[in-house]
């Protein structure tokens, strides 16, 4: 099998896994926001409560086939479902393409970031439990010998957390109010445990550029920025961190 064919095969495998994982992540996000457990109860319509049948649970395709509405009550299905499922597929495809059989590491990184980014986008919330899973998985893959080295990961975790924590403390002393959420430094530390310390400045810079782009688009659409506006930094860090992993692995010798 040629390199290109092997990459395509692993991309398809992890992309398929992403569809399944994405469905779970979407359920986790929406149920956590509604203070429900993702581990109990069968999948049901958010409006009428009817249990979904197998053909209504196919990631992305069911949403398209049903035209975005419940088959029973005809009320709209939350688009968060198909959006998270589609992104999870893309995460799996990218991980499989650049890392082959070891793509599970990057896919896991991306899927955890997806859950955290979605929660931050929807509710400005980065659950400590989920961030701890991300951090623990980063350490575990380092212990298994995956690049970067465990030492670089540990330094990255300390630098990532410390840098944002210092910025948050400095802003609070300067302006007399909170500028960063308490979960942002923890997320940056967890990202450092995956990427190592060398790439973290680029991740933070990319997150800031994405955030400025977001503000610029809102301005063009007529939404003027002010000092009270909130920006989901966790989402921006997630958007910057996963492509950084893809580039790091793709450019590795």
Same domain, 133 and 253: yes
138: its two tokens: 């980063």
Q: What is the mean pLDDT of residues 185-192?
A: 98
CB 164 within 8 A of CB 180: yes
pLDDT: which is higher, 109 or 64: 109
pLDDT(192) > 60: yes
28-32, 41-45, 67-71, 150-154: range with highest mean pLDDT: 150-154
Residues in the chain: 253
Least Cα distance to 127 among 135, 118, 137, 116 occurs for: 116
Q: How many CA atoms lie within 13 A of 54 on its CB side?
A: 0
The total of structural domains in the chain comes to 2
Same domain, 117 and 175: no
Beta-ladder partners of 69: 76
Same domain, 113 and 135: no
Question: pTM here?
Answer: 0.94
Q: What is the mean pLDDT of residues 202-226?
A: 86
Ranges 48-57, 98-107, 200-209: which has the least confidence: 48-57
* Domain C-terminal end among 97, 123, 149: 123
pLDDT(186) > 80: yes
Domain of residue 202, residue span: 126-253
Average pLDDT, the chain: 91
Same domain, 22 and 138: no
Q: What is the mean pLDDT of residues 148-157?
A: 97
CB 149 within 8 A of CB 192: no
Same domain, 153 and 253: yes
Residues 221, 45: Cα–Cα separation, whole Å:
34
User: Element (H or E) spanning 212, and its range?
Assistant: helix 200-220
* Domain C-terminal end among 94, 123, 152: 123
Residues 158, 190: Cα–Cα separation, whole Å:
9
Same domain, 13 and 95: yes
- Give the pLDDT of residue 87: 98
pLDDT in tens, 73-131: 999 999 999 999 999 999 999 999 999 999 999 999 999 999 999 999 999 999 999 99
Share of the chain above pLDDT 70, in %: 96
Residues 95, 166: Cα–Cα separation, whole Å:
33
Q: What are all long-range contacts of 104-109, with beta carbons under 8 Å and residues at least 24 apart?
A: 104/14, 105/141, 105/146, 106/242, 106/245, 106/246, 106/249, 107/14, 107/17, 107/18, 107/21, 108/137, 108/141, 109/134, 109/137, 109/138, 109/194, 109/241, 109/242, 109/245
Same domain, 63 and 132: no
CB atoms closer than 10 angstroms to residue 71: 15
Same domain, 3 and 105: yes
pLDDT(1) > 60: no
pLDDT in tens, 18-34: 999 999 999 999 999 98
Ranges 34-43, 108-117, 164-173: which has the least confidence: 34-43
Same domain, 79 and 30: yes
* Domain C-terminal end among 100, 123, 146: 123
Same domain, 132 and 118: no
- Give the pLDDT of residue 227: 60
Least Cα distance to 181 among 123, 239, 129 occurs for: 123
Same domain, 164 and 198: yes
Same domain, 81 and 136: no
pLDDT: which is higher, 134 or 48: 134
253: its two tokens: 């010798």
């Amino acid at each position: 099998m040629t390199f290109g064919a092997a990459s395509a095969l692993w991309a398809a495998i992890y992309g398929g896994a992403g569809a399944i994982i994405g469905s779970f992540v979407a359920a986790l996000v929406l149920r956590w926001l509604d203070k429900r457990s993702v581990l109990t109860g069968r999948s049901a319509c958010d409006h009428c409560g009817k249990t979904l049948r197998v053909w209504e649970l196919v990631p992305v395709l069911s949403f398209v086939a049903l035209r975005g509405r419940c088959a029973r009550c005809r009320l709209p299905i939350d688009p968060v479902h198909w959006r998270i499922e589609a992104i999870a597929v893309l995460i799996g495809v990218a991980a499989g393409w650049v890392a082959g059989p070891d793509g599970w590491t990057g896919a896991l990184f991306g899927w955890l970031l997806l859950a955290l980014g979605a929660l931050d986008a929807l509710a400005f919330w980065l659950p400590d439990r989920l961030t701890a899973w991300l951090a623990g998985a980063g350490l575990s893959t380092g212990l298994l010998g995956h690049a970067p080295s465990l030492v670089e990961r540990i330094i990255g975790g300390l630098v990532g957390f410390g840098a944002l924590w210092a910025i948050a403390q400095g802003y609070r002393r300067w302006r007399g109010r909170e500028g960063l959420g308490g979960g942002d430094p923890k997320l940056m530390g967890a990202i450092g445990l995956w990427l190592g310390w060398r790439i973290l400045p680029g991740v933070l810079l990319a997150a800031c550029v994405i955030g400025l782009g977001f503000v610029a688009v809102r301005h063009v659409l007529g939404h003027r920025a002010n000092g009270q506006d909130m920006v989901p930094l966790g989402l921006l860090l997630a958007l910057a961190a996963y492509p950084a992993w893809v580039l790091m692995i793709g450019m590795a010798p």
